[in-house]
Amino acid sequence: MDTSMTSSDGAIFSMDCDRRCSYSVVVADHVLECTASPLHRLLRGRRALAVTTPTVHAFYRQALDDFCRWGDIDLLVLDVSEETKTLATAERICQRALALGLDRRAMLVSIGGGVCSDLCSVAASLIRRGIGCIRVPTTLIGQIDAALGVKGGVNFEGRKSYLGCFTAPALVVLDPTFLRTLQRCDFQRGLAEIIKIGLVRDEGLFELVESAWREFIDTRGRTPTSRLIIERAALRMLEELQGNPFEDKTYERLVDAGHTFSPRIEAASGFSIHHGEAVAIDLCLSATIAAEAGLMSWNARDRVVNLIDAIGLPAFTPVANAALCAAALTEAARHRGGHTDLVLPRRIGEAVFVKSECDLQPHVVPAAIERLEVDASARYVAAGSGAAARA
Amino acid sequence: MDTSMTSSDGAIFSMDCDRRCSYSVVVADHVLECTASPLHRLLRGRRALAVTTPTVHAFYRQALDDFCRWGDIDLLVLDVSEETKTLATAERICQRALALGLDRRAMLVSIGGGVCSDLCSVAASLIRRGIGCIRVPTTLIGQIDAALGVKGGVNFEGRKSYLGCFTAPALVVLDPTFLRTLQRCDFQRGLAEIIKIGLVRDEGLFELVESAWREFIDTRGRTPTSRLIIERAALRMLEELQGNPFEDKTYERLVDAGHTFSPRIEAASGFSIHHGEAVAIDLCLSATIAAEAGLMSWNARDRVVNLIDAIGLPAFTPVANAALCAAALTEAARHRGGHTDLVLPRRIGEAVFVKSECDLQPHVVPAAIERLEVDASARYVAAGSGAAARA
């Protein structure tokens, strides 16, 4: 009797476990009400747990109730924030799923902003080792960024999205009519991510924002140009994600622009600085570093900072000091397989990767911080004199 | 200007996110000591956190210390059990990973039984949205079952492995020398899973166990026949998993034999009935149901029950009453996409799926329970008289 099945290197088996999947991103107005929507088509014959936030619930109670009554759908209203974006909150979703006896074909439906969809994605990836998750982002930042990819995450021990998953959603529905009830600040924050993708990838989109941001905010995304901005930003984001959705092919990701310093800034501020604001600060830092390093013209750098400032986003915070920036670069390298891969713009619409801190001269980051600090003081004084002149 | 990018159905993008991966299952004696092993090759140049149990640590302290010193490896000794196989315990692993500053290339190394590898798999899948996990199962049940596939899981609100992940390990190392320090009961429990795979898939393996189980247990797996049993059981398991590792192609899984009633039995006993014992009881139930339903001969059914009894595994527990079995069948359908998919043997080495409870006549399950209860009493009496005779 042959007493061994092993090959010379001891391997008895090589397990192939390729996992194929794809998902659609659709645009649909008034999606909760429209029972012919792709959302309703996917949910027909399935049980579901919809998770939403108190804000969304207050504005869309009737539509949510009708949606739940239309199908075999329960509703969980969760008060979520960066502070409660934790495994414990994800567990609350799991508890409800268990109490409802959801089967493996059942789905979670996240109807809310980025925090809500992050939590739902993590919960869905855990429940019965993974049930489907549909994302209906109700914020601008959700529609053009947070809800588009395969990531879910929760904060852990003060570290932003340290735990999470790469799990493809079952469907993503972008419904611009949700944006009508957003506050001005939500539009500003969303614009930070739109500026990001324009800056590193699409000059035309950046110019569109430069020319139409006021119309975009004032009409809450209702005009044709505003919708074009949303769809174009979402599309550019999706194109960037495609090809490396699980971040296992390369750590060079253009969409990481604005996301090297910002996680630390958010955490160091105790999350009083919102994600979109931190991204805006990070973009100004990156553009100024690029100008200080002679990579991009000061003219282009000024366009970035001026646009962010005009929109009403912060271009600087004292929280982003030299120590924080150094720690962020070290952490980025740890997170990105050993390379810093800082995304720096070369011109509006094009960016490069800085592989290592050593590729930047030591004075560059501190000089950029100082420059932004001086600019911020000047703007503060100008705003003050302006106010004095008007008084 | 074109103001819309949407197609007629509202889809602006279809994201393909195929994920390719494969992993090796290798057999290697004294793997911790052998620095030329596949384990050491994979860990060279990476940081790692090895997680082990107090039992393994007590037996292999020197080898573990040498292994950690060889590389950039930290050790976490975690007292784990079914009661503590929870998200909170997985979080302890995550906390240590965070404290160590593990990067995305770092790996967890689970050196322990099925509970340890389940916890490590869940933790690894969450840390930075997924770092690698190497499994070095030290128990028989781990080497021929728990550690081979892509599943990780934790118990949740009294429900066995309700939360978890499908995440391919980076490598699985079967080191039979670990089995030498196992207790007799660990071999018995492992044999339950070996009998399972033989019963539904490999008559020769079943016969091998019938003829050599005593040698297998007494020598702690050291003889050539014992090693053949381990490798053959592992290989059959891997062959069954291959093709449907994520359980997304079909819910008809032969390896689910012995795993329809057993999760409820374990949970209902407060986990005082071990997984392997519950599987043994489930197999006896399934074989007896098959015989009661006229699917399998009583002779073959008796071989199953007699083998399990001879090995010293339980063939029955009063916990497995009609209500529990009915609830287990309902839950199985919920977990398996609407179909019960109860695996019933047709003969030794071959099994079929019962799609729905309705395909079983109502008397069959209660009759099987009664038969097992009667048999158990008879064995109890026989054992008593035997003891009396010997006295």
Among A22, A127, A338, whose Cβ lies nearest the Cβ of B15? Answer: A22
Tell me: pLDDT of A128 over 50. yes
pLDDT (tens digit per residue) in A75-88: 999 999 989 999 99
Among B5, B24, B101, whose Cβ lies nearest the Cβ of A231? Answer: B5
Tell me: pLDDT of A67 over 50. yes
d(CA A148, CA A134): 11
Among B3, B9, B125, whose Cβ lies nearest the Cβ of A228? Answer: B3
Q: Which one of A4, A9, A13, A85 makes the best mutation probe of the B interface by having the most chain B beta carbons within 10 Å?
A: A13
* Contact residues, chain A, for B165 at CB < 8 Å: 125-126, 129-130, 165
Among B98, B126, B241, whose Cβ lies nearest the Cβ of A159? Answer: B98
Neighbours of B338 (CB within 10 A): 14
Q: State the pLDDT confidence band at A355, using cuts at 50, 70 and 90.
A: confident
Cβ B332 vs Cβ B356: under 8 Å: no
Among A2, A25, A334, whose Cβ lies nearest the Cβ of B101? Answer: A334
Tell me: pLDDT of A109 over 60. yes
H-helix or E-strand spanning residue B22: strand B22-27
Contacts of residue A89, defined as CB under 8 A and 6 or more positions apart, other chains included, come to A78, A80, A119, A154
Residue of chain A with shortest Cα separation from B101:
A334
- Subunit contact B337:A103, Cβ cutoff 8 A: yes
**Percent of chain B that is helix, strand, coil (3-state, to 5):** 50, 15, 30
| Residue among B348, B356, B362 at smallest CA distance from B293 | B362
- Subunit contact A14:B23, Cβ cutoff 8 A: yes
Q: Which one of A6, A129, A216 makes the best mutation probe of the B interface by having the most chain B beta carbons within 10 Å?
A: A129
- Subunit contact B25:A13, Cβ cutoff 8 A: yes
What is the interface size between A and B, counted as CB pairs within 8 Å?
A: 231
Label residue B289 exposed, middle or buried (CB < 10 Å: 0-12, 13-18, 19+). buried
pLDDT at A5: 57
Among A26, A159, A161, whose Cβ lies nearest the Cβ of B9? Answer: A26
d(CA A197, CA B326): 55
Contacts of residue B340, defined as CB under 8 A and 6 or more positions apart, other chains included, come to B260, B329, B332, B333, B354, B355, B356, B357
Alpha helices in A101-177 (DSSP H): 114-126, 140-141
Contacts of residue B194, defined as CB under 8 A and 6 or more positions apart, other chains included, come to B140, B144, B205, B209, B229, B233
Name the E strands within B283-375: 342-347, 350-354
* Contact residues, chain A, for B246 at CB < 8 Å: 17, 19
Tokens of A170: 């079952």
ipTM of the complex as predicted: 0.88
- Subunit contact A245:B15, Cβ cutoff 8 A: yes
Q: For residues A78-96, b (16+ Cβ closer than 10 Å) or e, as one string?
A: bebebeebbbebbbbbbeb
Q: What is the pLDDT along chain B (391 residues), one digit of tens a residue?
A: 344 455 556 788 999 988 888 999 999 999 999 999 999 999 999 999 999 999 999 999 999 999 999 999 999 999 999 899 999 999 999 999 999 999 989 999 999 999 999 999 999 999 999 999 999 999 999 999 999 999 999 999 988 899 999 999 999 999 999 999 999 999 999 999 999 999 999 999 999 999 999 999 999 999 999 999 999 999 999 999 998 888 888 888 999 999 999 999 999 998 899 999 999 999 999 999 999 999 999 999 999 999 999 999 999 999 999 999 999 999 888 878 788 899 999 999 999 999 888 888 889 999 999 999 999 988 888 877 554 444 4
| Residue A372 distance to chain B (closest CA, Å) | 31
pLDDT at B1: 39
d(CA B92, CA A146): 28
Q: State the pLDDT confidence band at A390, using cuts at 50, 70 and 90.
A: very low
Q: Mean pLDDT for chain A?
A: 92
- Subunit contact A168:B98, Cβ cutoff 8 A: no
Phi first, then psi: what are they for B343, rounded to 5°? -90, 115
- Subunit contact B12:A174, Cβ cutoff 8 A: yes
No. of H helices and E strands in chain A? 13, 11
| Span A209-238, average pLDDT | 95
Alpha helices in B34-86 (DSSP H): 38-43, 54-70
Neighbours of A288 (CB within 10 A): 28
* Contact residues, chain B, for A21 at CB < 8 Å: 17-19
| Span A142-166, average pLDDT | 94
pLDDT at B5: 56
pLDDT at B358: 81
d(CA A60, CA A46): 23
pLDDT at A88: 97
pLDDT (tens digit per residue) in A233-279: 999 999 999 988 888 888 889 999 999 999 999 999 988 999 999 99
d(CA B251, CA A129): 14
